[in-house]
Structure 1
Amino acid sequence: MTTADKLALLGGTPAIDRPLPHEIWPPRADEAELAALTEQRNTDISIKGNSGPIGQLEAEFLAFLDHGVRYAVTFNSGTSALLAAYFALGVREGVEVAGPALTYHAALSPVFALRGDVVLVDIDPVSRGLDPKALEAAITENTRVVTVVHQWGHPCDMDAILGVAERYGLRVLEDCSHAHGSRYKGKPVGTFGDAAVFSLQANKAVYAGEGGILVTDDALVQDRATLLGHYRDRSRDSVIDEELRSHWVTGFGLKLRMSPFNAIVARHSLAAFPARKEARHRCLRHFGELLREVDYLEPITVPDHVDMGAWYGYKPLYRPEALGGVPRSVLIEALRAEGMEVGAPSGPRLATLPLYARPENPLFPGTPKRASAPEPGSQAAHVEQHALSLPTFTDWPEDVALIEAYAEAFRKIGRHREALAAHAAETSR
């Protein structure tokens, strides 16, 4: 056997020879973006309401959502925007928010800052978002809000979830932080719920460096969210309700505003998004077709009625029984030895984290909260234990050779599954 035919983990030649990293994000700024940042620096570095690039970003984002909602409010992070959304939707002590058991922690953690409780709900194995049946079973007399996270860009089953929300009188918050450009039955995510939040953090497809944007079609939600994070000019000019507008000088005491520099970066990434999305879809369609030949991976299923938008990461599931029971950690080690940029998704089930699992709210010592118990047999546990995280290739056709090298690395592992299984057995002794 030549070294090219031998697993790199066992002394062979790696299948991929391109140096890491393979996913370089965000892209470098072009001259127009740099010029706009320079002009803003020499014009005004302060934040005045939603003037200048902040107001322009908000207007452009509403157009990006096909004007499916009327209001957009920028914040200094997606987490701040989520805090404002929960506040605006009435989360407070005694209120429960139902949300997915497997997602990024910040999708639900702002609830604790408002003294609310989180009820974790199992996920659907295809969308990786909320399972509507599990949601309905989890509702209690204290449930007031359901948080829908379009996990890794795949829209949730919005028809079923909205039906549950309507039956029980729940407000719906969409966390679209992974789902820029995603659509459900032709309609943009972020336009279904009572409010929606998009993170604009640097790893997102539309990025500001740090930033977030809240959108809603509800004037009262817009007013309350604005007052939580903004004051003076913005609150005076944007808040509609006369009584709430009386707080315009102070807002509700917090300052969670986006900087104009972040807004400029976000505007340019938003303008570039359609072309980048199309290139990413071409890359990942090609990747998915090649990976169908790999029997130890469960292909990612994208139903015809959804558009994956930004594809926040490419995360197939590993089938260990098809690879002789090799642990995922050993598979990842072998793939990395072949030169691949691969790992397990970074977010564990929320019930395994102290913030969610412990019965006391750490923000308010002595204040009890509903503790979340881990569910080892859940769909959330299955995805957590079997998902692989691969690059989100974006450069078409430049990335084709790299994508095909990744596919060959997967095939190479499959051809040598007995050797890998023997290695796993030996190292586990």
Structure 2
Amino acid sequence: MTTAEQLALLGGVPAIEQPLPHEVWPPPADEAELSELARQRNTDISIKGNSGPIGRLEADFLAFLNDGARFAVTFNSGTSALLAAYFALGVREGVDVVGPALTYHAALSPVFALRGDVVLADIDPDTRGLDPKALQAALTDRTKVITVVHQWGHPCDMDAILRIAERHGLRVLEDCSHAHGSRYKGRPVGTFGDAAVFSLQANKAVYAGEGGILVTSDPQVHDRATLLGHYRDRSRDTVLDEDLRAHWVTGFGLKLRMSPFNAIVARHALAAFPARKEARHRCLRHFGEQLGDVPYLEPVHVADHVDMGAWYGYKPLYRPEALGGVPRSVLIEALRAEGMEVGAPSGPRLSTLPLYARPENPLFPGVPKKGIAPETGSHAEHVEQHALSLPTFTDWPGDRTLIGQYAEAFRKIGRHREALVRYAADPSR
């Protein structure tokens, strides 16, 4: 056997020639972005309401959502925007929020800062978001808010979730942090719930470095969210309710505002988004086609009625039974030896994290909360234990050769299944 055909893990030549990293994000700034940042530095580095680049970003973002929301409010992070959204939707002590068992922790962790509590529901194995049947079963007499996370870019079953919310008089918060540009039956995510939040952190398709944006069509949600993080000018000029506007000098005591520099970066990322989205779709459609004959992978499911928008990584599931039971960790080791940028998704089930599992709120010692025991046999556990995280290729057709080499690395592992099984069984490896 030639070294080119041997597994690289066992001394062969790697299938992938291009050096790491393969996903370089965010892209370098162009001259227009750098020039605008420099002009802003010499014009004004303060934050005055929603003037200048902040106001322009908010207007641009509403247009990005096809004007499906009435208000947009920027924050210094997606987590801050989520805190403002939960506050505005009435989360407080004695209130439960139901959310998905597998997602990034910050989708729900701001609830604890408001002394609320979290109830976790299992995910749908296709959408990777809330399973409507599990959601229905998780409701309590204290439930006030349902948090929908469009995990990894795939929209949730919004028709079923909205029916449940309407039937029980619940508010719906969409966390769209992975789902810039995603659509459900032709309609942009972020325009279904009572409020929605988009993270603009550096790894996102539309990025500010750090930042977040809350959108809503509910004036009360807008006013309360604004007052939570924007005192003085912004609250004086934009809060509609007269009683609430009386707080304009102080807001509600916090300062969670976005810098104008972050707003400039985000506006340029938003302007570049359509072309980048199209390139990602071309790359990942091709990648999915290339992986169709790899028996130990379950391809990423994309429903016919959804648009994945920006995607957020490419995350197929590993089928260990089709590869002799080799543990996922060994498969990842073998793939990395072939030159692949691959790992397990970084977000564990929330019930395995102390913030969620322990029966005391660490922010308020002595205040009890639900202690959530890690669930077994759930769809969330299955996805957590079997998903692979691969790059979100964006350069089409430049990444076509690299995608082909990734597919060949997967096939190569399959051709040498027995050698990998023996390696996995060797305790001295």
Runs of 4+ with >6 A deviation: none
Q: TM-score, normalised by structure 1?
A: 0.99
Q: Does residue 118 of the first structure (1) align with residue 118 of the second (2)?
A: yes
Aligned to 2:223, the other structure's residue is in SS state helix
Q: Find the counterpart in structure 2 of residue 99 from structure 1.
A: 99
Match of 2:13 in 1: 13
- The 5-angstrom pairing of residues 70-81 of structure 1 reads 70-81=70-81
Q: Which residue of 1 aligns with 2:303?
A: 303
Partner Cα separation in structure 2 for residue 80 and residue 133 of structure 1: 30
Unaligned runs of 5+ in 1: none
Displacement, 1:186? 0.1
1:193 — aligned with what? Answer: 193
Q: C-alpha distance in 1, partners of 2:128/2:108?
A: 16
Specify the alignment match of 1:341 in structure 2.
Answer: 341
Please list the CA deviations of residues 280-334 of structure 1 after superposition, one character each: whole Å capped at 9, or x if unmatched.
0000000000001100000111111000001001000000000000000000000
Q: 1:428 to 1:324 in 2, by over 3 A?
A: farther
Equivalent in the alignment of 1:255: 255
Residue-pair matches, total: 429
Question: Where does 1:1-400 land on structure 2 (aligned, <5 Å)?
Answer: 1-400=1-400
CA distance in 2, matches of 1:94, 1:185: 36
Q: Any unmatched runs of 5+ in structure 2?
A: none
What is the distance in 1 between the residues matched to 2:31 and 2:362? 46
Residue type at the aligned position of 1:38: A
**Which string of whole-angstrom CA distances, capped at 9 and with x for unpartnered residues, describes residues 9-61 of structure 1?**
01100001111000000000000000000000000000000000000000000
- The normalised TM-score by structure 2 is 0.99
Alpha-carbon separation, structure 1, partners of 2:192 and 2:3: 54
Query: What is the distance in 2 between the residues matched to 1:4 and 1:207?
Result: 40
CA–CA separation in structure 2 for the residues paired with 1:279 and 1:412: 27
Percentage of identical aligned residues = 85
Q: Give the 3-state SS of the residue equivalent to 1:373 in structure 2.
A: coil
Tell me the amino acid that sits aligned with residue 99 of structure 2. Answer: G
Q: Partners of 1:203 and 1:226 in 2: how far apart?
A: 25
Q: Secondary structure at the match of 1:62?
A: helix
How far 1:383 sits from its partner (Å)? 0.1
Aligned counterparts of 2:417 and 2:351: Cα–Cα separation in 1: 34
Shift of 1:427: 2.9
Instruction: Write the distance in 2 (CA, Å) between the matches of 1:29 and 1:323.
Output: 43
- Amino acid across the alignment from 1:394: T
Q: What is the CA–CA distance in structure 2 between the aligned matches of 1:373 and 1:245, rounded to whole Å?
A: 43
* Cα root mean square deviation, aligned: 0.7
